[in-house]
Structure 1
């Protein structure tokens, strides 16, 4: 919503007349939103953007006349605005959607399945939540980050970095991971992401960072310099096995409407690692992760939250700050260095907080 409390103005862009109609009907149900136009291709969208001045755009990737990614790249260069991608749940679609997020799209969701009526209500709720968050978001270009050198020797097998994110998180996680050296403690990540996208996301992070990144497997050891990302639709938990940390995957019910859930990961890390862990909660819509970050803090872990200025949506980290669960609030670009500094401290939270990052 804008400061005048008028409905958020949405432009729907899709080459399918059926999808345009369905998205329009779902969005127009909400009193705080209105569809001001529907475009069949990027050229049509460009003219409607000029004429209608929408607040947020839904955008398909595969369209005639101009590829959706080309259009998005031009849009973010010439007239940056919040964009939610509506894409197919295929492997190729996952790669293209992650590229769209790298170009500046705020969020994404799959295309609605028009022949499955019983799932449409849940889809509509998800769609409207993402559009509301996008209308308030602050899209911005994110940098490539050089790895931070370790300040001191870290007993990496005993240290653990736990990261959670949602809306805007795929690129925020990239920035964080690019800031870590190859000898960093093991990293475990829960990003709200659907099935079929998490493997593509892990492979993308493996290519773009200096770390070994993979989709987590049940029973997998968490090793220094390695990153384990929760699979879509499965909770990731961490268990202690002697001096090792091990990934456990679960099909338990969603928590805070999410599976994987950041709270589930953080609570398990609080038990398994306690003061040997550092928790990092980044950009995202909702409250998932705030309670778990508090559990980590209570267990003696260092806890960091991304600040509002650099978050696409300051829902999850903002809630953690509100609850007092974040011991320190930092811009995205400083989170990796701060996490390493905390992991380097000999006695966890008690000694680490005397070394505030300047």
Structure 2
């Protein structure tokens, strides 16, 4: 009876060594049991249909049918939560984003190439992600996807402009109840937007960032839990799809309105005042917070020290509770409007749930309405 309560895992990798190594990670695991392995994408599709796993780990690079093509077919024929294993090369980063575009829950970066003899370094991360992915709604994975990069930027921007126009029309027609209650919230003062997200975040970020108008009168800081090397690909991809400028944050960047700065993997993102401006400080020396560097808590705590800007804090889909402690600091130290993504649209309702439980969140909003909610609080 005990085994029947466990989530069933299928391990897909063309290397017998890697299949054995990953399977061994789950020996004795109270939540997950490995019910089978597959040597390539074709084999995986057959095994998924016969074994009915709750979750799959799958290598991106495989012969016959690679992980990306297999994922597309899996999500069409036999949808199941999939965690991809990807190399840390530039192509690996692009492939990881493509995998999430095609419905993967998340990815784990292999520490050293296709056959990683030191895979034990990511054991804890992989096990944690598999345990949580097994309970993700497949329906949400199929609905949530990036806009295809094959579509021209001009057509995407035209579509986004219409969405923004419609959203802003709705905003101007409705006086926010929250604003009428908040006598200390002045829309004319300087603002900064702070966004934190994790599992499911790349799709959620596109839904939000692509809808922000170029005229937005605030800089945007973003922490997305990702390893080093992957955030550059994410920022480039979002920049293609957005009216605002999106870039991977660099040490010393001066904050500008209409620019979104994504914290690089492996660095905490902080702020320091420089004259009349603020500059980004990237910190590799402070240890990871709850396993995360960058950490949403660290970004929020640093922003809480800024006294001459009001903050709009947004916490979206992700495992764990990163951001909730930082939200408390923000609220204690200035004017803050906090927005949490709704459980209805979250791939994983962990971080927003933890934020809501602080009772400091002003609005709980579906992901497709978050951009509109942000704009409501800005000049």
Q: Same fold (TM over 0.5)?
A: yes
Report the equivalent of 2:349.
314
1:172 aligned to 2:172? no
Give 3-state SS (helix, strand or coil) of 1:255's partner.
coil
CA 1:258 to 1:289, structure 2 compared with 1: closer, same or farther past 3 Å?
same
Give 3-state SS (helix, strand or coil) of 2:142's partner.
coil
Picking from 310, 314, 333, the partner of 2:368 is 333
Picking from 328, 350, 354, the partner of 1:294 is 328
Report the equivalent of 2:265.
232
Report the equivalent of 1:100.
99
Q: CA deviation at 1:115?
A: 3.3
Report the equivalent of 1:305.
340
Once the two structures are superposed, what CA deviation does each residue of 1:40-66 show, in whole Å capped at 9, x if it has no partner? 011111111111000001111111111
Supply the distance in 1 between the matched residues of 2:274 and 2:365 (Cα, whole angstroms).
Answer: 32
CA 1:111 to 1:96, structure 2 compared with 1: closer, same or farther past 3 Å?
same
Do the aligned partners of 2:209 and 2:371 also contact (CA within 8 Å) in 1? Answer: yes
Supply the distance in 2 between the matched residues of 1:78 and 1:43 (Cα, whole angstroms).
Answer: 12
Q: CA deviation at 1:270?
A: 1.8
1:197 aligned to 2:214? no
1:283 aligned to 2:282? no
Supply the distance in 1 between the matched residues of 2:254 and 2:57 (Cα, whole angstroms).
Answer: 40
TM norm structure 2: 0.84
CA 1:62 to 1:273, structure 2 compared with 1: closer, same or farther past 3 Å?
farther
CA 1:341 to 1:240, structure 2 compared with 1: closer, same or farther past 3 Å?
farther
Do the aligned partners of 1:281 and 1:293 also contact (CA within 8 Å) in 2? Answer: no
Report the equivalent of 1:10.
9
Supply the distance in 1 between the matched residues of 2:30 and 2:111 (Cα, whole angstroms).
Answer: 21
Structure 2's unaligned 5+ residue stretches are 148-158, 173-186
Do the aligned partners of 1:103 and 1:141 also contact (CA within 8 Å) in 2? Answer: no
TM norm structure 1: 0.89
1:135 aligned to 2:170? no
Structure 1's unaligned 5+ residue stretches are 345-358
Aligned residue runs from structure 1 range 181-192, under 5 A: 181-184=213-216, 185-192=218-225
- Count of residues paired in the alignment: 338
Q: CA deviation at 1:274?
A: 6.6
Once the two structures are superposed, what CA deviation does each residue of 1:106-132 show, in whole Å capped at 9, x if it has no partner? 11102255433xx72x52211111011
Q: CA deviation at 1:78?
A: 2.4
Do the aligned partners of 2:88 and 2:111 also contact (CA within 8 Å) in 1? Answer: no
Report the equivalent of 1:80.
79
Report the equivalent of 1:214.
247
Give 3-state SS (helix, strand or coil) of 1:28's partner.
coil
Supply the distance in 2 between the matched residues of 1:238 and 1:250 (Cα, whole angstroms).
Answer: 10
Aligned residue runs from structure 1 range 145-156, under 5 A: 146-147=160-161, 148-149=164-165
Report the equivalent of 2:41.
42
Do the aligned partners of 1:274 and 1:300 also contact (CA within 8 Å) in 2? Answer: no
Once the two structures are superposed, what CA deviation does each residue of 1:306-350 show, in whole Å capped at 9, x if it has no partner? 111111111111001111132211111111110110123xxxxxx
Aligned residue runs from structure 1 range 105-120, under 5 A: 105-111=104-110, 114-116=116-118, 120=120
Supply the distance in 2 between the matched residues of 1:196 and 1:112 (Cα, whole angstroms).
Answer: 12
Supply the distance in 1 between the matched residues of 2:257 and 2:243 (Cα, whole angstroms).
Answer: 12
Supply the distance in 1 between the matched residues of 2:241 and 2:56 (Cα, whole angstroms).
Answer: 28
Supply the distance in 1 between the matched residues of 2:249 and 2:33 (Cα, whole angstroms).
Answer: 40
Picking from 247, 250, 259, the partner of 2:283 is 250
Computed over aligned residues only, the root mean square deviation of the Cα atoms, in angstroms, reads 2.2
Aligned residue runs from structure 1 range 19-38, under 5 A: 19-38=18-37
